[in-house]
Amino acid sequence: MNQVVVPDIGDFKEVEVIEVLVKPGDAVTKEQSLITLESDKATMEIPSPAAGVVKELRVKTGDKVSQGSPILLLDAKEEAKQAAAPAPRKDEPKKEPKREAPAAASAGPGAAQTVAVPDIGDFKEVEVIEVLVKPGDRIAKEQSLVTLESDKATMEIPSPAAGVVKELKIKTGDKVSQGSAILVLEGAEQRAEPRPAPKAEASKAPATSSPAAAATRAAPAPAPQAPASAPRAEPGAKPHASPSVRKFARELGVDLAQVRGSGPKGRILHSDVQAFVKSALARGPGAAPAAKGGAGGLPFDLPAWPDVDFAKFGPVETKPLARIQKLSGPYLHRNWISIPHVTQCDDADITDLEAFRKAQTAETEKRGFKLTMLAFMIKACVTALKQYPQFNASLDKSGENIIVKHYYHIGVAVDTPGGLVVPVVRDADHKGVFDLAHELGDISKVARDGKLKPSDLQGGTFSISSLGGIGGTYFTPIINAPEVAILGVSRSALKPVWTGKEFAPRLMLPLSLSYDHRVIDGATAARFTTFLVSVLSDIRKLIL
Ligand code: CAO
């Protein structure tokens, strides 16, 4: 069992633990980050000196640690132990001489001096991720000049003196090592003073008290430390995140400036980046890379969702969404935002159909079910789908082919106390209007009782959403992907209709057909609704 301790972290003492990245029972690999430390100039992840299993944590978030402070107990793997013993740190001899602050090439007040990268421990060829000053800037001593980042540490390099930036010698993306020139500083008021060297024994200190640990590199000795009061180059402008979180964000293309940090002092945690990506995906393809076959990205970022404290304006109450709303919300949102919807509206003259339906009601009531308009709608839709098969289809995953289905499973939106559900009436083309009415009655009861099985909701080829029993005229139903169209049915009303000779009172049924414009052209949609209207207006066509 090895006790892993904080290795040589240069001049840093009493540095805050801002994240503990492992927990007891975790199997860790060699070099895996264990904790993140942060001072005002550097963020460092302390890597594991060996592979093994975490037995016990010896630190928690908020603790202050220095070199030698225990981090955790590690049950190191055998091979790690063997690899361990001899090697002292590679740069050990180099660390013996006194470490100096960023070097000044020339001395004397007022003279121009070249500021170079100071001793940054083991790090070589470290990427410049931000240049925090520009030529002409008047800077204070200890003001941060550039930010360097490796996969384990982010470091800001402070200015060794006050002065005016004459010339930059590096740019973002450059790779630098100790001694690389950063900039030329003019009118420097004082020469940089040598910084105290790390104690000789400090540079030899193993990262753990076990031999295994000695083999691993210590965490970087970060840039010379500024006093706590030192001004930051751009106060508050830089998002606070550890190197691994920055790397994670970079891999996902996330701009950390847009991420809200939930860690101490607003620090952005791994989970914050995950939550940001999740919400960006839920917001749709404009906010995150689109899935293949999706609508593609927008050329701009959507603004963040407003975070309003409503209680400031009046009394409020917070209630959770219903379970079905929580489940279906993201799908509705995805469908709405990723399918280019167009809604084609029309009115069907159902005067004769309604008379026929009413004439049958006595008979069907005797048989124990209600003959609703919806049963006729299903029948009429199947007839129209057969005439226009592209409405009974889906786009394949590539988005390049249409899969036309030769079965007719019609989804029917049902309003239940728990939320909206869409059970599917299977093989509607093989069923008569009475059968459909019977089945509709049964399935909407099962839905309202919350007893639908997952299979009752699957396999739909086209959907109908009827608000006719409630009211309203037209609306825009959301396509139930991967279907490509949905018919909205509103409340019928008696309207004066011109017959060619006179206005006659006719019962008109408002229809709203939403269709996926990637698959269906506007002209085809208008033909579909015109055909549907003609079928509903002349019930003889239903049996054709
Ligand atoms: N025009 C005029 N009256 C209509 C009508 C229409 N288009 N459709 C139904 N009605 C009448 C019925 O005749 C019935 O009248 P009576 O009580 O006098 O017989 C009454 O409205 C209620 O009908 P219903 O709702 O019981 O039956 P239905 O077959 O029309 O609908 C169902 C069944 C399950 C679709 C329906 O109950 C329902 O849940 N609708 C809501 C669907 C929904 O929420 N869609 C929105 C999706 S988008 O959020």
Asked if pLDDT for residue 370 goes beyond 80, the answer is yes
> Rounded to the nearest whole angstrom, what is the distance from the C-alpha of residue 543 to the centroid of ligand 1?
24
Higher pLDDT, 279 or 110: 279
270, 406, 430, 517: the catalytic one is 517
Q: pLDDT tens digits for 424-454? A: 999 999 999 999 999 999 999 999 999 999 9
- Rounded to 5 degrees, what angle do the CA atoms 393, 347, 511 make? 40
pLDDT of residue 282: 67
> Is residue 179 classed exposed, middle or buried when 0-12, 13-18 and 19+ CB atoms within 10 A define those classes?
exposed
Higher pLDDT, 247 or 519: 519
pLDDT of residue 292: 35
Asked if pLDDT for residue 384 goes beyond 80, the answer is yes
- Nearest Cα residue to atom 9 of ligand 1: 469
Integer Cα distance of 344 and 487 in angstroms: 9
Q: Which of helix, strand or coil describes residue 327?
A: helix
Which is it for strands 424-425 and 462-466: parallel, antiparallel or unpaired?
unpaired
Q: Give the Cβ contact number of residue 160 at 10 Å.
A: 26
pLDDT of residue 237: 45
pLDDT band at 42 (very low <50, low <70, confident <90, very high): confident
Q: Which of the listed residues 335, 439, 466 should we mutate to test ligand 1's pocket, taking the one with most ligand atoms within 8 A of CB?
A: 466
Of 483, 462, 448, 436, nearest in space to 381 by CA:
462
> Rounded to the nearest whole angstrom, what is the distance from the C-alpha of residue 542 to the centroid of ligand 1?
21
pLDDT band at 163 (very low <50, low <70, confident <90, very high): very high
Among 69-78, 253-262, 408-417, the range of highest mean pLDDT: 408-417
For the residues 50-64, what does the mean pLDDT come to? 93
Tell me, yes or no, if 517 is annotated catalytic.
Answer: yes
pLDDT of residue 412: 97
Integer Cα distance of 13 and 67 in angstroms: 7
Lowest pLDDT segment from 191-195, 262-266, 450-454, 494-498: 191-195
In order of 92, 282, 325, 335, 489, the CA distances from 329 in angstroms are 59, 9, 5, 10, 22
pLDDT band at 102 (very low <50, low <70, confident <90, very high): very low
Asked if pLDDT for residue 193 goes beyond 70, the answer is no
Asked if pLDDT for residue 509 goes beyond 70, the answer is yes
Which is it for strands 462-466 and 485-489: parallel, antiparallel or unpaired?
parallel
Ligand 1 pocket by Cβ (under 6 Å): 372-374, 412-415, 420, 444, 465-469, 477, 489, 491-492, 509
Q: Which amino acid is at 257?
A: A
For the residues 7-17, what does the mean pLDDT come to? 82
pLDDT of residue 299: 72
Q: Let me know: does 206 contact 214? Beta carbons within 8 Å.
A: yes
Among 39-48, 127-136, 509-518, the range of highest mean pLDDT: 509-518
- Distance, CA of 534 to chain centre: 47
- Distance, CA of 182 to chain centre: 36
Q: What are phi and psi of 70, to 5 degrees?
A: -65, 140
pLDDT band at 88 (very low <50, low <70, confident <90, very high): very low
Q: pLDDT tens digits for 339-369? A: 999 999 999 999 999 999 999 998 889 988 9
pLDDT band at 97 (very low <50, low <70, confident <90, very high): very low
For residue 198, say if its preceding peptide bond is cis, omega within 30 degrees of 0: no
Integer Cα distance of 5 and 306 in angstroms: 44
The 3 state secondary structure assigned to 254-277 is CCHHHCCCCCHHHCECHHHHHHHH
Q: Let me know: does 28 contact 35? Beta carbons within 8 Å.
A: no
Bridge partners of 393, per DSSP, are: 404
Q: What are phi and psi of 144, to 5 degrees?
A: -70, 135
Express as a percent the part of the chain with pLDDT over 90: 49
Of 479, 455, 463, nearest in space to 422 by CA:
463
Q: pLDDT tens digits for 274-319? A: 888 887 776 654 444 333 333 345 677 778 889 899 999 999 999 9
pLDDT of residue 191: 45
> Rounded to the nearest whole angstrom, what is the distance from the C-alpha of residue 491 to the centroid of ligand 1?
8
Q: Which residue blocks in 339-432 are alpha helix, DSSP H?
A: 351-366, 373-387
> Rounded to the nearest whole angstrom, what is the distance from the C-alpha of residue 468 to the centroid of ligand 1?
5
Asked if pLDDT for residue 126 goes beyond 50, the answer is yes
For 540, which DSSP code? Answer: G
Integer Cα distance of 263 and 141 in angstroms: 30
pLDDT of residue 459: 96
Higher pLDDT, 220 or 355: 355
pLDDT of residue 300: 74
pLDDT of residue 94: 34
Asked if pLDDT for residue 514 goes beyond 50, the answer is yes
Bridge partners of 72, per DSSP, are: 4, 57
Average pLDDT, the chain: 81
pLDDT of residue 231: 29
- Distance, CA of 173 to chain centre: 26
pLDDT of residue 59: 94
pLDDT of residue 238: 60
- Rounded to 5 degrees, what angle do the CA atoms 361, 366, 371 make? 30
- Which tokens in the block code for residue 233? 């180059």
Q: Which of the listed residues 373, 433, 465, 480 should we mutate to test ligand 1's pocket, taking the one with most ligand atoms within 8 A of CB?
A: 373
Per 3-state DSSP, the chain is made up of helix, strand and coil in percentages (nearest 5) of: 25, 25, 50
Integer Cα distance of 233 and 239 in angstroms: 13
Integer Cα distance of 177 and 195 in angstroms: 18
- Nearest Cα residue to atom 22 of ligand 1: 469
pLDDT band at 96 (very low <50, low <70, confident <90, very high): very low
Q: What are phi and psi of 120, to 5 degrees?
A: -115, 40
pLDDT band at 327 (very low <50, low <70, confident <90, very high): confident
